[in-house]
Amino acid sequence: MIGLDLPPGGARAVNRCDALGVAPFSDMAGGLYRGYLTPAYAAAQEEIAGWMEAAGMTAHRDAAANLVGRYEGTTPDAPALVIGSHLDSVRDGGRYDGPLGIMLGIESVAALHAQGRRMPFPIEIYAFGDEEGSRFPAAMLTSRAVAGTLEAAALDMADAEGVTLDQALCSVRVERSRDTSGAGVSTSLDTNGEGIAEYLTAAREPGTIRAYLEAHIEQGPVLEADGLAVGTVTGIAAQLRYAVTVKGMAGHAGTTAMRLRRDPLAGAAAMVLAVEQIARGDNSDVVATVGMIEAMPGAPNVIPGAVHFTIDVRSGKEERRDRVAKAILARLSEIAEARDLDIAVERIHDLPASPCDAELMDLMDEALIGAGQPVRRLVSGAGHDAMNMAALCPTAMLFIRCKGGVSHNPAEHVDPEDAEIALQVMLGFIERLGTRAGETNAA
């Protein structure tokens, strides 16, 4: 098992993220890609389960193939504090986006366990499976399943290789054997074997979670620009994502006159520029991105017959987001009509703005001060599992400085010293939440 010989703390959390950045924990040669329910995903779960158990937790996999560690409290049936983030990554991504929050959660529990301490509530660490949506055509499946906001119809999907979610789920079977106390122990991390039929049973009952805490790299430059290691997150921007298909007429690149062409790629190029121009022209916090584009059939001597691309629109205010998205879609329709192209737009997901809980933000600010850090609050333009968990319980987030604000990139970097500061803030937050829970119980 990797990383058990290192001293506990923020540096160990960073080191473990680095260890998970290579094979067998990556399915990509020369870089990091860990898609949901891939061999690398299963291998990473196996390794992390060992770290959870070494920190004093029990570990299991729920029906959505999330890895869950549990550290009992003095009142076992009390609502739990859930600390979580995601285990999957984008293709050729960075090592800390997601996993660092999981590792810091484990380190928080390890610190309590080393002191022989229990909080008035259980602590659970969730390693969510599919925040990025880099394998299947939808994001945040597993946290939505836990929050109870995922519809059964959304599970009918397949990856680029034609593997359905049901098939992928049933294929993940990890058996671990480990000697924990002089005797061989075999632990199964299997789901219950029912695959997609039981997926939605990962939902937690309302009232079983006291609060959700997520530590995450900022994925932006604000903290670094301000010379700060950490900051309190006030909320997550509203997001819309669309899948667009533009169809024209495929033809020979050498024999089809320009005036006779119905080229969907040329039309899509105009559409991509329109997305950028409309978002820039709004002169607000709205951002719009075309992150993926594919021309079919994809041969150099063939005019494409169809083009697929995505549009991602975000803003701190849903009204602004929706206004810009409406303008973008209207302009795309105009371009398609002018070029005699067919266009189809599918809304993949619509995620509302998700403010963090006001009282928990105050606790986080107090924890910042207790760790010797100035109070700094900032909004998240990126989506996180916290936005789904907000449907189930109050949420809090802690941002951690990342070098250059770079994320979703192999250049992603976090200083171990910043991770240690984040850990101390998290422990202060847990301590304060425990004090509040104790006062409530006494009352």
Question: Which tokens go with 182?
Answer: 């002089």
Dist. CA 363–CA 50, nearest whole Å? 31
CATH classification code of 238-351: 3.30.70.360
Contact, 288 vs 328, CB < 8 A? Answer: yes
Annotated binding-site residue numbers for Zn(2+):
86, 97, 132, 216, 408
Q: 29 to each of 43, 64, 82, 92, how far by Cα in Å?
A: 16, 27, 34, 9
The per-residue pLDDT for 2 is 61
Q: Where are the beta strands (DSSP E) in 89-180?
A: 123-128, 175-179
pLDDT grade, residue 58 (50/70/90)? Answer: very high
Quote the pTM value.
0.80
For the residues 388-415, what does the mean pLDDT come to?
A: 96
H-helix or E-strand containing 14? Answer: helix 10-19
DSSP assignments along 17-40, one per residue: HHHTTSTTS-SSTTS----TTSHH
Dist. CA 99–CA 360, nearest whole Å? 23
CATH superfamily assigned to domain 10-236+353-442: Zn peptidases (3.40.630.10)
Dist. CA 129–CA 48, nearest whole Å? 13
- What CA dihedral angle connects 136, 238, 429 and 47, to 10 degrees? 10
Using DSSP, state whether 158 is helix, strand or coil.
strand
The stretches of 256-397 forming alpha helices (DSSP H) are: 264-281, 318-338, 358-370, 386-389
172 DSSP 8-state letter: -
CA atoms within a 13 Å half-sphere pointing along the CA-CB vector of 415? 11
Which pLDDT tens digit goes with each residue over 297-326? 999 999 999 999 999 999 988 999 999 999
Contact, 135 vs 167, CB < 8 A? Answer: no
Task: Domain ranges for the chain, please list them.
Answer: 10-236+353-442, 238-351
pLDDT grade, residue 181 (50/70/90)? Answer: very low
Dist. CA 216–CA 398, nearest whole Å? 6
pLDDT at residue 174 is higher than 70:
no
Annotated binding-site residue numbers for allantoate:
241, 301, 314
% of residues, the chain, pLDDT over 90 = 85
Q: Of the ranges 221-225, 314-318, 407-411, 426-430, which one carries the lowest mean pLDDT score?
A: 314-318
CB-count burial class (<10 Å; 0-12, 13-18, 19+) for 281: exposed
pLDDT grade, residue 187 (50/70/90)? Answer: very low
Residue type, 335: I
Dist. CA 38–CA 45, nearest whole Å? 11
Annotated binding-site residue numbers:
86, 97, 132, 216, 241, 301, 314, 408
CB-count burial class (<10 Å; 0-12, 13-18, 19+) for 205: exposed
Helix axis angle, 318-338 relative to 264-281, nearest 10°? Answer: 150
For 41, other C-beta atoms within 10 Å of its C-beta total: 27
Which pLDDT tens digit goes with each residue over 246-261? 999 999 999 999 999 9
pLDDT at residue 5 is higher than 70:
no
Are 10-236+353-442 and 238-351 the same fold in CATH? Answer: no
The stretches of 139-229 forming alpha helices (DSSP H) are: 141-147, 165-171, 222-226
Which pLDDT tens digit goes with each residue over 62-115? 999 999 999 999 998 999 999 999 999 999 999 999 999 999 999 999 999 999
Dist. CA 386–CA 388, nearest whole Å? 5
Which pLDDT tens digit goes with each residue over 262-282? 999 999 999 999 999 999 999
Dist. CA 386–CA 131, nearest whole Å? 10
Which pLDDT tens digit goes with each residue over 189-246? 444 445 788 999 999 999 999 999 999 999 999 999 999 999 999 999 888 999 999 9
Question: Which tokens go with 146?
Answer: 């836990």
Using DSSP, state whether 211 is helix, strand or coil.
strand
pLDDT grade, residue 185 (50/70/90)? Answer: very low
Instruction: Count helices and strands (H / E) in the chain.
Output: 11, 18
Widest distance between CA atoms in the chain: 83
Contact, 85 vs 128, CB < 8 A? Answer: yes
Question: Which tokens go with 3?
Answer: 């990383």
